[in-house]
Structure 1
Amino acid sequence: MIQTLDLFPIGNCSASALIDRHGRFVWGCVPRVDGDPFFSALLSDRDPADRDVQGLWDIQADGLAQTRQAYLRNTPIVRTELTNKDGESLEILDFAPRYRQFGRIYRPMAMIRLIRPINGAPRIRIRMRPSVNWGQAAARQTTGSNHIRYVGGPTTMRLTTNAPVSHITEERLFRLEEPIAMFLGPDEGFDADVMATTTRMLTETTHYWREWVRTLSVPLEWQEAVIRSAITLKLCAYEETGAIVAALTTSIPEHAESGRNWDYRYCWLRDAYYVVQALTRLGAADMLENYLAYLRNLVAEAGGGHVQPVYGVGLEPGLTEKIATALPGYRGMGPVRIGNQAHEHLQHDVYGQIILSTVQAFFDERLLRPATVEDFRALEPVGERAYEVYATPDASLWEFRGREAIHTYSAVMCWAACDRLGNAAVQLGLLERAALWNARADEMRKVIEARAYNEELGRYAATFDGDELDASLLQLVDVRFTPASDPKMAATIAAVETGLRRGPYMLRYALPDDFGEPKTAFNICTFWLIEALHLCGRSQEARELFEEMLTRRTAAGLLSEDISFDGDELWGNYPQTYSLVGLINCATLLSKPWAAVR
C-alpha cells in the first residue's frame, strides 16, 4: 500500500498528529507542530505495514478483514473499528485532550489512545516505533512498571498504560480481553488511574468540542463540511502564542517528483488572515482574539519596518531552510525540507493582511479585548510601510524564488491597509487621521488603476504594466477594491477563467516558474473562482463546481493544497488551511438562507 493523504488529523492546539485509514499514527511532531517528527512514516518510501518500518504507532489486528473509520460527531476524535476474519472486532479512540480545567484550557502536549474489544477477544499487536532527529534513528526505550520512556530526540516522551509493558516493547501478539488506555505525553509521572483518567478526558474533550461547535453560525447547507473545516482550522492554531500554521505537514510535493516540497508548519500572515476571516464569518471570535495577540507582538517587534511574510509559531523570525537527509520523503519523493526560505522574501501584501485581520477588533463588541486608540497608533506604522512599498517589486503571494515584479495583488492589499485604517480612524473619532489614510488610499487606487489595468487587453494584469494572469486577481472583489459587476473586473474574471481553468479546477498561474510549469491545480483558487462565478450571476455553475470540490475531500472531510487535473489525487501539504477557508467561504456564500426552512 502506498502512502496517501487520506488521513485524519487530531489535536488540541498544542499537540497534533495524522492517522491513516488503518488507525496508524504516521505523522506528529514534538514538542511543537514545527518540531522533530516523533512519528515520521508519512515521509517514508515504505509501506507502513512493512515489518521494519519506523516512525509510527500502530495497533494491528491479527487477521484483519475490515476497517471502518470516522470522527465522533462535531469533534476531532477519531474512531477506528478493526474486524478480523473471524468477526472479532475492536475500536480505537484517538484524541488529544482539550477542556476547561482550573479556570483555563487544559491542552497538554499529549495524545491518548483507548482500545476496547467490541466483539470477542481479537488478537492485537502494538507497534510503537517513534523516530528521533528527523528520522536518523529510532528512539531509545527505557521502561518502568507501567510506562515506557522514549529518549534521544529534543524531547523525552513517556507512554503510560495499563497494558503489560512488555507486550508493547516486544511487539507480541496478545488477546484484547480488557480495555487498554495509553497516554503519550511529556516525561512526567502519571499519578492517577490511567484508564479512569483518560476515559474522563475523553468525555471532557468531547464536551468541549461540541460546545465550541454550538457557538458557530453555520450556513443551512453543507453544515457537516463547514463544521469539519472549522474544527480543523482550529487544530492548526498554536494557542500558546496565537500563531496559526498553514498546514500540519512538511514536504508533501505539489505533484509527483516535482521538487516543490515545502515546510508549511509555520505562521504565514497571509494564510492566517484568511483563516481568521473565515472563522469570524462563522462567529469564532476566540481564534481572532488569539491571533491578534500574535500580530501585536510581531508589529511591536517590527517597529514600523519590514515585516516578514512568515514566522515561527513562537514568533521566531529565522526559519533557515535545510534538508533532512535521513527521510526519503513522501513515497520517496524528497527532499524533506525543514524551515522555509520565504522568511527572507519581500511580500508586500502582508501589510494589508495585518490590518485586515485587526480592523474588526475596532468594531466588534463581543471581544474580551476590543482594539483601542493605542492599538490604532501601533498599527499606523504598518500603514506607513504599506504606503511606502505598494508600488515596488516583491516575490508575490506565490513566493517566486527567481523573479520579482510589482504585483497587483500585493499593491491592492497595501491599498486595503490604508483604506481600512481610514475606517478604523472614523470609528475611533480620529477624523484627521481618517482624512490622511483615506487620501492615501485614493492616491494608491489611482496608481493601481493606471498601472495594473491593461487597456489593450481590457482587463487587469497580475503585474504593473504587464499582461500576466494569476488567480489572485479574483481577490480584487473580496477586498472591495472593485465590484464584480464593474466591466473591467468582469473581463478580468473571464480572462482568468479562460486562461487558468483546467477542467473544473484552477491554476495559480500558467507560466513556468523556478521549478517549471505547474502540473496540479491549486484548491483555494478553485474556491475563488466559485465565489467569482456566483458574484457574476452564474450561481448554478458555482454550486455545481462547489459540489465537485466536496467530492474531492478525504474521508476525514478535508483537502490538501493541490489536486491533479483529473481530480483523482490530492497533493501538497495537508490539511491545508487555505483550502478549508475556501470551502467555508463558498458554503456561506452559496447556501440557501435559514429563512428557507422557517
Structure 2
Amino acid sequence: MSDLPIAEHGLIGDLRSAALVGTDGTIDWFCPRRFDAPSVFAALLDGGGGHWTMAPTCEVAARSQFYFPDSAVLVTRFLTEHGIVEVQDFMPVLRRDDPDHHQRLVRRVVGVRGTVGMRTEIAPRPDYARSDAIAKAVPGGVWFSGDDLALGLGATVGIDVSGDVTAGFVLDEGASEIFVLDVADAGAEPPVDLRPTEVDALFDATVVFWRGWLATSSYTGRWREVVHRSAITLKLLTHEPSGAVVAAPTMGLPEQLGGERNWDYRYVWLRDAAFSLYALLRLGFTAEAEAFVGWLTDRFAVPRDGESGPLRVMYTIDGEPPPDEGPLAHLAGYRDSAPVLVGNGAGDQLQLDVYGEIIDSVYLFDKYGSGISHGDWENLCVVIDWLREHWDQPDEGIWETRGGRGDHVYSRLMCWVALERMIRMARRRGLPGDLTGWTTTRDEIYRQIMDKGWDAERGAFVQRYGSTTLDASLLLMPMVKFVAPTEPRFLSTLDAIRNELVVDTLVFRYDAADGLDGDEGTFSMCSFWYVEALTRAGRLDDARVALEKMFTYANHLGLYAEEIGLTGDQLGNFPQAFTHLSLVSAAINLDRALR
C-alpha cells in the first residue's frame, strides 16, 4: 500500500477519467476509460492493488511537485546527491470534443542535472485487483491483457517482463526517456510504437489545450492562481462526452482513519453538479455549463417513479442509478480504513434539497446562458408539481446521514428555492405555469421555516424541526436569497455557528449523532461557505483572514479533499469538486465586496 498521505498527490486527467500521482513518483490510482470503471492501479487502497512507480535508485534528498503553468501537466522533481530528475505526467487532451480521442498515460522522465539512475515498475491489477494482467513482450514495449481491458506500454528503454514489468535506466543531464501506456478494449492490440517527437507534440498540444481553455475565464481578481487551479480541477472532474461532473475521482478514502465512512464518490451528485454549474457560469465557462444542463435535462425527460421523487440524488455519468453499495473485502483500505466501499447506498435516499439546487442552477443558466427550451420547461413543471405535493415530509437531508429521516431545515429551504426560481423564470420569460399555486406553497414554506426552524432559546436556525443542533448548511440562507445577509436571525445563527462549529476557520458540518460510528474532520466546503457568509454579512476583514487561512490547508498543488483532520491532514475522497466550487464562489464574492 502507498505510504503517502492523501494530500501528497497530484491529479492528471483527460476529461474521461483521472489518475493520482504521488510525490514519490507512483501512480497509485487510475480507473481506465471512465471515472467509475474498475481500477487498474489502486495501491492507494491496498499494497496489492496495482501501481506504476518511477523513482531514482539512489537516496532522494527532497521531492516536489508543481503543475506546468496554467495546465493539468504535473511535474514531480527528485533531488539527489547525484543530480536532479523530473517526471512529467499527463493524459493527452488535444482538442475539445475530440472524436479521435484515445486514452493514454504519458510519463516523460528528464535529466535536469548530473547523472541519476532510475527504476520503474508497472504492475496493473484490473478489476480492483480481483484479477491479474498478463504481460507479453512485443517489439518496442509490452502488452497487458486481462478481462475486458488491454494496455499497451511503449518505452524508449528496454523492458523486463519477468514478474512485474520493470525497467532500469540512467539519465544524464539533458537526456530524457519516455513511457506511454495506451488504453484499449479487450482483444485489441494497443500501440507500442513510440517516437519521442510525437510525445513532444502531445505535450505541447495538451498544454495549448489547457491554456486556451483557461484563457476564456472571466476571473481577474486577487486570487487568480488559486481560483484558476480550482477551475482546472473542476474541469478535470468533468466527463466531456456526457457533460456530467463527478463528485471526486476516487473511492474508499476515509473521512476518519480506521473508520467506516469510506464512500465511493465517482458519481454525479445532482447537488454537487448544480453548484459546479454555478461556479463555471461565474467564471465564464458557458460551454461546460451548457453541456451539463444538457445532461441534466435528459434526467428531467425520463422521470422515475418512487417515493424519493422524479429525480435521484445521484447518477452514473451515463445517467443510470449507481451500483448497489458493497465492500471490496480483499482490499485493506487506505491505512487500514475498511471497508472499502464500491457503489453508493445513498442513491435511493430522499433528499429534497436537490430539487432546489438543480432548479436554481437551471434558473442561472436560463438567465446567463443560452436559455432552456420549451420541452425542458414542461419537464420542470412536472418536477415542481411533484415537489409541491411532497415538500412537507421528513428526508435524509444534505449530509446523507444513515440515522433515519427528519424534518431538515435546509431541505425545506431548498424547496423554497425551487419554487421561488420557477416563479422568477416564468415571470422573466413569460413562461406558462401555476404562479398562484407556486407562490402559495413558496410562502407556506417560508413561514414554516421561520416558525419551526428558528429556535428562540438557541438564537439560531437549527438542523431539524424540534432539535437544537446547529448545521453549517444554513450558512447558505442569504446566498440563496431566503433572508437578507443582515437579517438579525441570520446574524445570530452565524454567531452561533462561529462559536460552536468553527475552529479557527475550519467548520464542522454539525454536532449531532448521524447513525455512523466515529468522528469526522471539518468540511472544507463548509469553511468556504463560512467565508462567503461573513462576506455577505459585511464582515470583510474576518472573511479575508478566513479565506487566506483556508488556502493554507490546501495541499502543495492547491487541491483539497473533502475534509481536514485535527492535524491538518486531508481526509476523504480527493480532490473533491464541491470544495473547489465553494472556493471559487467565496473568492469571487469577496473580491466583489472588497472592490
Fold shared, TM-score > 0.5 on shorter chain: yes
Q: Which residue of 2 aligns with 1:296?
A: 297
Which residue of 2 is the match for residue 42 of structure 1? 44
Match of 2:23 in 1: 21
Task: State the AA in 1 paired with 2:159.
Answer: V
2:57 to 62, 67, 91: 62
- What is the root-mean-square deviation in Å for CA atoms of aligned residues? 2.3
Q: TM-score, normalised by structure 1?
A: 0.92
Taking structure 1 as reference, are residues 442 and 106 closer, same or farther at Cα in structure 2, changes over 3 Å only? farther
Give 5+ residue unaligned stretches, structure 1. 47-52
Q: What is the CA–CA distance in structure 1 between the aligned matches of 2:591 and 2:533, rounded to whole Å? A: 15
Equivalent of 1:11 in 10, 13, 20: 13
Letter in 1 for 2:230: S
Structure 1 residues 421 and 62 mapped into 2: Cα distance closer, same or farther (>3 Å)? same
Secondary structure, in 3 states, of the residue corresponding to 2:201? Answer: helix
Q: Which of 183, 188, 193 is the matching residue for 1:186?
A: 183
Shift in Å, 1:477: 1.2
Amino acid at match of 2:70: N
Quote the residue 1:49 is aligned against.
none
Contact 2:137–2:161 (8 Å) recurs in 1: no
Which residue identity does 1:173 align to in structure 2? G
Which letter maps to 1:446?
R
Using the TM superposition, give the Cα deviation of residue 430 of structure 1 relative to its aligned residue in structure 2, in angstroms: 2.6
| Unpaired runs of at least 5, structure 2 | none
Aligned to 2:171: 176
Percentage of identical aligned residues: 29
Per-residue deviation, 1:377: 1.1
Q: Is the 8 A contact 1:351 1:385 kept in 2?
A: no
**Match of residue 116, structure 2, among 109, 114, 122:** 122
* Secondary structure, aligned partner of 1:42: coil
Determine helix, strand or coil for the equivalent of 1:43.
Answer: coil
CA distance in 2, matches of 1:459, 1:424: 31
2:409 is matched by which residue type in structure 1? Answer: T
Contact kept, 8 Å, 1:15 with 1:108, in 2: the verdict is: no
1:585 corresponding residue in structure 2: 585
Q: For 1:593 and 1:472, how far apart are their aligned partners in 2?
A: 22
| Shift in alpha-carbon separation, 1:497–1:153, aligned structure 2, 3 A | farther
* Letter of the 2:209 counterpart: Y
Deviates more, 1:508-517 or 1:285-294: 508-517
| 1:399 matched residue in structure 2 | 400
- Give, in angstroms, the shift of residue 121 of structure 1: 4.2
Alignment correspondent of 2:213: 212
Distance 1:54 1:363, change over 3 A: closer
Give the Å deviation of 1:227.
0.7
Contact 1:303 1:381 in 2 (8 A): no
Q: 1:172 to 1:105 in 2, by over 3 A?
A: closer
Opposite residue 85 of structure 1, the aligned amino acid is: E
Matches within 5 A, 1:140-155: 140-155=134-149
- Alpha-carbon distance in structure 1 between the residues aligned to 2:237 and 2:101: 14
Measured in 2, the distance between the counterparts of 1:282 and 1:136 equals: 42
Do 1:475 and 1:528's aligned partners in 2 also have CA atoms closer than 8 Å?
Answer: yes
Corresponding letter in the other structure for 2:375: E
Q: How does 1:129-528 map to 2 (within 5 A)?
A: 129-166=123-160, 171-176=166-171, 178-187=175-184, 188-190=189-191, 193-302=194-303, 305-365=309-369, 367=370, 370-430=371-431, 433-516=434-517, 518-528=519-529
Say which is worse superposed, 421-430 or 569-578, in terms of deviation. Answer: 421-430
Which AA in structure 2 matches 1:112? Answer: V
Per the alignment, residue 573 of structure 2 pairs with 573
Letter in 1 for 2:16: S
Closer/same/farther in 2, CA of residues 440 and 592 from structure 1, 3 Å limit: closer
Q: In 2, Cα distance between the equivalents of 1:573 and 1:388? A: 36
User: After superposition, what is the alpha-carbon deviation per residue over 1:144-173, rounded to whole angstroms, capped at 9, x for unaligned?
Assistant: 102322222432222223332338965243
Aligned residue number for residue 72 of structure 1? 68
2:123–2:165 Cα contact (<8 Å) kept: no
Whole-angstrom CA distance in 1 between matches of 2:433 and 2:261? 48
Query: For the residues of structure 1 that align with 2:35 and 2:432, how far apart are their CA atoms?
Result: 44
Secondary structure of 1:217 counterpart: coil
Aligned counterparts of 1:18 and 1:528: Cα–Cα separation in 2: 27
Give the whole-Å Cα distance in 2 for the aligned partners of 1:519 and 1:431: 46
Q: 1:321 to 1:303 in 2, by over 3 A?
A: closer
Q: Check conservation: 1:425, 1:433, Cα contact below 8 A.
A: no
Query: Which one-letter code corresponds to 1:221 in the other structure?
Result: R
- Pair 1:347–1:549, CA change in 2 (3 A): same
Q: Is the 8 A contact 2:154 2:192 kept in 1?
A: no
C-alpha contact (below 8 Å) 1:219/1:588 kept by paired residues: no
**Aligned-partner SS, 1:173:** strand
Distance in 2 of aligned mates of 1:165 and 1:172:
5
Give me the whole-angstrom Cα distance separating, in 1, the residues matched to 2:547 and 2:486: 21
Contact 1:386 1:415 in 2 (8 A): no
